[in-house]
Every structure is written in structure tokens, then in C-alpha cells.
Amino acid sequence: MDSILVTGNGPLNGQIEIAGAKNACLTLMPATLLTEEPLTLTNAPRLSDIKTMTSLLQSLGAEVAAMQDGQVLAMSSHDIHNHTAEYDIVRKMRASILVLGPMLARDGHAVVSLPGGCAIGARPVDLHLKALEALGAELELKDGYVHAKAPGGRLIGGTIDFPFVSVGATENAVLAATLAKGTTVITNAAREPEIVDLVQCLRKMGAQIEGEGSSTLTIEGVDRLNGATHPVVADRIELGTYMLAPAICGGEVELLGGSLDLIGAFVEKLSATGVEVSATENGVKVSRKNGRVQAVDVTTEPFPGFPTDLQAQMMALLCTAEGTSVLEEKIFENRFMHAPELMRMGAQIDVSGGTATVTGVERLKGAPVMATDLRASVSLILAGLAAEGETRVSRVYHLDRGYEKVVRKLSGVGAKIERIKEA
């Protein structure tokens, strides 16, 4: 099992190119199941989760080819001969549930295993299923699989009122409603940039959708969708992560392809610590040149609030801040698993339920640590960049699910980091 060795090496300077968003690409890929015509995605990230979704789509009969070093995905679903998404693939990634809505919408039936993925809280799929039931789907849970069918072979437009915001359930509902007969109104819908990106792609395919970026989406079902070519939006979580690298180490780094519009709440908190953030012609520039950062309080919320997927990385920064910070996690329970690992590096953190109190120390110390999930793994790397001595992060297979070429990108701006291949 590979590990990553990081040695604190002073300020970072240079440029890092931001990849396409993993969470957007994993949502866009199942859209191929809605049409017999080709769907091509550009600016696709090169990640293990993308390979998992590729395998899942291929198992259903879709053709998926990665071109231009994996940054272009050419897909065609003209021959969907299998409507069962098997456990062996679905268990690897929660986003696999997103094939359910498109298959049900196009062919009126589907069987999909209940999904797996990072062990962060319960993250049930109940809202996905209730949304599809609101469109007329008949569902049965049997032997770990969702057996779904649309009476008469087609879903019917309806009203979907989510009791709380769910990005994945909103995505599944939107995908399913594009081919449903009649009008679908989704209230309390997620507003994330990945939802906006999905709607923009589906609109290119001929879908009739209004309201993206707001909490209410209105979808007029159409009889068929056509093919399209669509660029995957920049990854706001990768952007925020690499913005934190010069914040925690000092220096000045430009994030190429990034946009402040994607992470406004995060930028507000980062700026409050004393880090300089500005837009450039080609992206975003982050600079820290004077002393320690200042403590700030952070509460995770659905977009446009502070992203839960940047909480672990922000905690790494606040471990070295001047003062005491309080981080409140309101999206996922059990998402402070990185805290004990940061404490091994000398961080002062007190966790009580969904709240972590962090008292900053002047300098962290390198130590052997273990990644517990995707975002925790990169938070430990960030901490290692600012620590005294060597930090060895094990179980970095989590990292490969969400960050491409981490070692190359960070070493390119001066970090001392290497991947250790294990036998």
C-alpha cells in the first residue's frame, strides 16, 4: 500500500493547474445513459473514481473511451443491454447510485446495488428513492439491490420537495425528470456549481430545465435527448485545497483555471485569517508573506456556504493559527476522523460531537499518520508541508479518488514531497 512522504520545506511559489471537478464529472457521465447519441466530456479529471464510473457504465453496455491522456471522455449508450448495476462495482463509490435515475427514465426499469464509498457518516440514499417515487417509480429493496420500474414504461412529472438539501438526490432527480412525461418541480434543491454544470450539459442535450443555481428547479420532460460536447467545470475542492498550500507554508501560488465564484464562502474565511486572495487573468492568486495566520470560526453548510469537503484541509491551516478556532460540521456526522492524526503531529484539537475546537500551535511536527478518507488524506499532506521534519501519510489510495498528480503539482511549486511505492 503506497504512502506519501512530506518534508517541511518553507514557502511555496509558482503555478498549479486546477483539474475538472470530480463530483461534476461523476454526475455528468451517467447522463450518457439518457441518449443513444454520443456525449463527450472535456476537461475530465484523471482519477480512480472516474475509472470506476467508466467500468460501471461499460458493464451496462455503454461505450466509454478516454482520450488526450484521459482529459476527454467519449461516451455512447446506443446499446444498453444490461440494466443491473452490480454490487462489485457499485460498492466502491457512492456516486454509482446516479445511474438509477437515467436508466429508469430511458428504459423504464433498473436494478442497482446500494452503494459504498468513503466511511463518512450514514449518507443514506433514501432521498434518491423518494424523489424517484414522486415521479411514479415503483421501488423494491431486495437483497441489497434497488429494483425499480416505471409503470407504463415512463416516469411521470411530479413535485419533489426535499426535507433537506442533498446534492446527490437533486442530481438523480434532475437526470430522471428530463425524460419524464410532463412537468417536474424540485424544491429545496441543491445549488452547488456541480448541479449548475449538470443542467447546462443536459440543456445542450435538449433538456428543458430552468432555475439552476436556485433552490427551485423546473423541468419540462422531453421525448428524447441528443448528444453534446461539454467541458467539466473546474474542481472547486481541489482549488480550495491548493489555495491552502501557500496559506499554510507561506509564499505565493497562482491556481490556473480557478474561479473565486466557485468558493466564495471559503475565500471569505481564508481572507479572514490574513491570507491574501485575488483573481487573476488566468485564475486565482494566493499569498501569505507575513507571520502566522489568525484563528477563525468555520461552520460547514450546503452551497453557497462553507464546503464540508474543505473542512479537513481548513483545520490543517487553523492548527498553526494564532488563537483558537471552532469548526462546526453540519453536513456529515463523524467527519473529524483526521483530528486524531493531526494531534499526532502536535496539533491541539478537542472534538465534541459535531464541533472541533482548535488551539493553534506555532509549528507542527512530522509524524507517521494514516488517511481515513479522501479529504482527510490531503489535509495531512498540507499539515506535513508546514511541519518540522518528515510526515509519512499511509493509506493514500483514498487520495487517488479525488486528486490527480498531487506529488507533481505540489513539487512543482517547491514542496518536498514524494510517493513511496510499497511492495
The answer to whether 395 is annotated as binding is no
Instruction: Give the CA distances from residue 5 to residues 74, 170, 272, 339, 376, in Å, rounded to whole numbers and listed in that order.
Output: 36, 39, 31, 19, 15
Q: 45 among the known binding-site residues?
A: no
Q: Is 94 annotated as a binding residue?
A: yes
The active-site residue out of 25, 118, 201, 319 is 118
| Cα 323 from Cα 77, distance rounded (Å) | 55
User: Does residue 197 have a known ligand-binding role?
Assistant: no
Q: Identify residue 298 by its one-letter amino acid code.
A: V
Are the CB atoms for 56 and 85 separated by under 8 Å?
yes
Residue 185 parent element (H or E): strand 183-187
Q: Is 191 annotated as a binding residue?
A: no
On whether 23 is known to bind a ligand per the annotation, the reply is yes
323: left (phi over 0), alpha (psi -120 to 50) or beta: left
Q: How many CB atoms lie within 10 A of CB 258?
A: 27
- Answer yes or no: 25 catalytic: no
Q: How far apart are CA 57 and CA 79, in angstroms?
A: 11
Annotated ligand binding at 98? The verdict is: no
Q: Is 309 annotated as a binding residue?
A: yes
Four-CA torsion 90, 233, 312, 404, nearest 10 degrees: 70
Q: Is 331 marked within a binding site?
A: yes
Residue 300 is placed in which grid cell? 460547514
Residues 5 and 23: their CA atoms lie apart, in Å, by: 27
Q: Give 147's strand partners.
A: 111, 140
**Which residues fall in the annotated binding site for UDP-N-acetyl-alpha-D-glucosamine?**
94, 123-127, 309, 331
Catalytic center residues: 118
**Which residues fall in the annotated binding site for phosphoenolpyruvate?**
22-23
